[in-house]
Amino acid sequence: MSADAILALLVYAFVTSITPGPNNFMLLASGVNFGFVRTIPHMCGIGVGFFTLLLGVGLGLGAVLTAFPALHLTLKMLGGAYLLYLAWRIAMSRSLGQGAAAGAKPLTFLEAAAFQWVNPKAWVMAITAMAVYTDARAPFFSVLAVGAAFALVNFPSVSTWAGFGTALRGFLSDPVRLKWFNIAMGLLLAATIWPMLR
């Protein structure tokens, strides 16, 4: 892979990782509701889950979905339903999660990793990255290179959203502000389903 191609891949990975989408809206809400430290497993789960999704797509899963449209449709429906469930959970959260007594809990490492496999934005990112940045002459190496590029930029990108949410905790300690913030985050997360319906 040439230096220009590596730079282009890193830019693509950064832009797609830091722009708004289901993961980043959930991290913003988690930063507000649970703080940065309690959101770290969620952030790590995103990175590992997306890396495994990239490898799966790069090693042939994308072709399987193209060959079997019903499977692709099923995945989209499951992803949409899970996104709506998570949007509802966020929208109904009413207190900053200070501990077990608050009732709510952040996404775990495994939940966040598994979510990548039904996240519509993650699939678009993975399929596009593999289609554009892999080289047929060195398929395995180029798939690993794409995965490495995303691994390099993913954690700093997603931690920005969790950090911003954490910075808002003081402002949103007012229950009314927090309620409307969580409702807005739930609605924004639900709105991310729209592109996959077209």
Contact in structure between 154 and 17 (CB atoms under 8 Å):
yes
Residue 32: Cβ within 10 Å count: 28
pLDDT band at 149 (very low <50, low <70, confident <90, very high): very high
Residue whose entry in the numeric block shows the structure tokens 């995103």? 46
Where do runs of H (alpha helix) occur along 22-68? Answer: 22-34, 36-56, 62-67
Tokens of 117: 């496999």
In the prediction, which pLDDT does 101 show? 40
Using DSSP, how many helices (H) and how many strands (E) does the chain show?
10, 0
Delimit the domains of the chain by residue range: 23-95+106-193
Interval 82-136: pLDDT, tens = 778 878 887 887 766 654 445 678 899 999 999 999 888 888 889 888 888 888 7
Average pLDDT for 137-149: 88
DSSP state of 106: P
